[in-house]
Amino acid sequence: MSNNFLVLEQSLNSEKFSECKSSVAKLLFILSVLYSINEASFLKLMSLRRGKLKLLSNSEMEIQRSALDPCPKQIPDSPYWIATKTSTEFKRKMLKEILEILEYNSDIVNLVMLKF
């Protein structure tokens, strides 16, 4: 079992994660953990879009300018921002796509999807 899997599993089973009630809070928590595991890999995510909406950026304004009201939130402990005004189902799909872009294996993807 990889160290990344263990870090994610421990984080998703933590009291801090259990306190995350909204899909936005869960998304931000998980992305923060992913960033802490491999900061450099987040550069791969800069092209994430939903139509004209820029989903992830290192600039709040870049996300803000890409749509009417994308509600950007900063990923904790990172320089990155993510658009959060999307449905919970879309957040699930986006999170799965992020995990796949970051080349996590199916065990990790399944674990995260189960907890989200």
How many C-beta atoms surround the C-beta of residue 19 within 10 A? 9
Please count the structural domains in the chain: 1
- Residue 31's domain is classified under what CATH number? 1.20.1380.10
Task: Give me the domain span that covers residue 62.
Answer: 3-115
Name the pTM for this structure.
Answer: 0.93
For the CA atoms of 93, 99, 101, 102, the dihedral, rounded to the nearest 10 degrees, stands at 160
- The dihedrals phi and psi of 41, each to the nearest 5 degrees, come to -65, -20
Q: How far is CA 59 from CA 65, 82, 107, in A?
A: 10, 9, 32
Residue bearing the bigger pLDDT, 48 or 27: 27
Confidence of residue 5 (pLDDT cuts 50, 70, 90): confident
